[in-house]
Structure 1
Amino acid sequence: MRPEVRTFVADGSLPDWDASEEEIDRRCHQLAAISRPVTREEAAALATCFGPDDCYGAAWTLVHLIETAPGPVPQLEDPGSEVGDWAQTLWARWAGEHPAT
């Protein structure tokens, strides 16, 4: 896994709307530093970083970054009901583009 992905993942979930502007900017800069495409391993790790809301659009950036990985993200092939909304969104978008055979 590349260092910039490890750094982003190590800092945990995206902050919510109540976070400071500095914290949101810092996380957005970390996210922007990750070049595309990501590997399946990186995508799986990044998929654990969704926060409670869209973090002023950063969650969508994270979704689009994860979608650059080849094939499905292993942890999201069958997310079940216990995962958050953003993981469900990612899985639904992937499933719509790659229907089961």
Structure 2
Amino acid sequence: MATQELILIDTLCTHYQVEVSFFDALDTMGLIEIQVIEQTKYIPQDIISDLERMIRIHNELNVNIEGIDVVFNLLKKMETMQKELNTIKNRLNLYESDL
């Protein structure tokens, strides 16, 4: 992965006003993947939207890291179910249009 696709964790800490330990805890829980290059920690740019959700859940709702893990697992399941529901609706519409 190229360096320009990574964001420095120190920059995120300053921008979102959170501690590095928050990112370390998210990494430990498997919610994000920290990449270390030359002893500097980065995260991939493509997970910023999920990261912002995690920070909001943590700060605004006072949810701990374990709670964030539960919330994100439920959100992922809901997204999967929504995709399945859309697929089923599309199939149903296809069958109904053939009638």
Q: TM-score range by the shorter chain?
A: under 0.3
Q: Give TM-score scaled by structure 2 length.
A: 0.23
TM-score (norm 1): 0.23
Q: Quick check: which has more Rg, 1 or 2?
A: 2
More helix per residue: 2
Give the structure with the higher percent strand.
2
Higher relative contact order, chain-length normalized (CA < 8 Å, sep 6+): 1
